[in-house]
Amino acid sequence: MPLVIAMDGPSGTGKSSASKGVARALGLRYLDTGAMYRAMTWWMLRNGVPVEDAAAVAARVDDPVIESGTDPVTPTIAVDGEDVSGPIRSREVTNAVSAVSAVPEVRARMVALQREIIGDGGIVAEGRDIGTVVVPDARLKVYLTASEEVRAARRARDLAADPGASVAVVRSEQARRDRLDSTRKASPLTRADDAHEIDSTELTLDEVIEAIVRLAKELQ
């Protein structure tokens, strides 16, 4: 089977940036599964579905048409034909996504869609449950970590245009999301036993990419 690289870890560890870089370096496709859960959450909010009500979310789970592009140079995400790559990164969506992604019916639909896109492989897929649930037999699994402080500082820089997003606020919202993602019943965030753990706290993005490319080349 062509290579599948599974990249998991908490938010702000550099999964998206490193996955795109590795995919470019190795000529692979790229799938951001977090963007798919964000797209589902954006649609629920837009349609007035109370996101804390799991039954209400489950009832609408099949309605949005979610399309993910897999080019690592220009990743795209659309809902019902509308480009949502900007709005899915808002703090409103970010703070609602853990409730939506904890709903088993949401996960069942997303995992089926993700497996369809991953197909025969040749892809770097990133998220929370890629190595444990989506592709448990992936040839290479990476679990990215970084200190809470560094992760919050990175994410606050991404959100510099949002005046409410100080490092302290981002840090506490991020800690809440990580707690919800790691303690939910349906496929919680956890490191697969056979994943290589990389702590990016003191590494540059290029160093993280190089480490993963090296691991991939060792497989050949």
Ligand X SMILES: Nc1ccn([C@@H]2O[C@H](COP(=O)(O)OP(=O)(O)O)[C@@H](O)[C@H]2O)c(=O)n1
Q: Which of 169, 186, 203, 213 binds ligand ADP (CB under 6 A)?
A: 203
Spell out the residues 6+ positions from residue 134 whose beta carbon is closer than 8 angstroms to its own: 6, 33, 111, 114, 115, 118, 125, 127
Site for ligand X in 65-124 (CB under 6 A): 97-98, 101
Look up tokens 């209400």; give the residue.
56
The answer to whether 11 contacts ligand ADP (rule: CB under 6 A) is: yes
Spell out the residues 6+ positions from residue 85 whose beta carbon is closer than 8 angstroms to its own: 35, 75, 76, 77
Return d(Cα 71, Cα 53) in angstroms, integer. 35
Contact between 10 and 126 (Cβ < 8 Å): no
CA 17, 29, 22: angle at the middle one, nearest 5?
A: 40
The answer to whether 182 contacts ligand ADP (rule: CB under 6 A) is: no
Count, residues near ligand ADP per rule CB under 6 A: 16
Q: Is 90 annotated as a binding residue?
A: no
**Shorter beta-carbon distance to ligand X: residue 30 or 37:** 37
Q: Which of 71, 149, 158, 194 binds ligand ADP (CB under 6 A)?
A: 158
Q: Tell me how far apart the terminal alpha carbons of the chain are, to the nearest angstrom.
A: 12
Q: Which residue is nearest to ligand X (CB)?
A: 34
Residue 154 touches which of ligand X, ligand ADP, none (CB < 5 to 8 A by kind)?
ligand ADP
Positions touching ligand ADP (CB under 6 A) are: 11-17, 154-155, 157-158, 200, 203-205, 208
Q: Which residues bind ligand X (CB under 6 A)?
A: 11-12, 15-16, 33-35, 37-38, 97-98, 101, 127-129, 177, 181
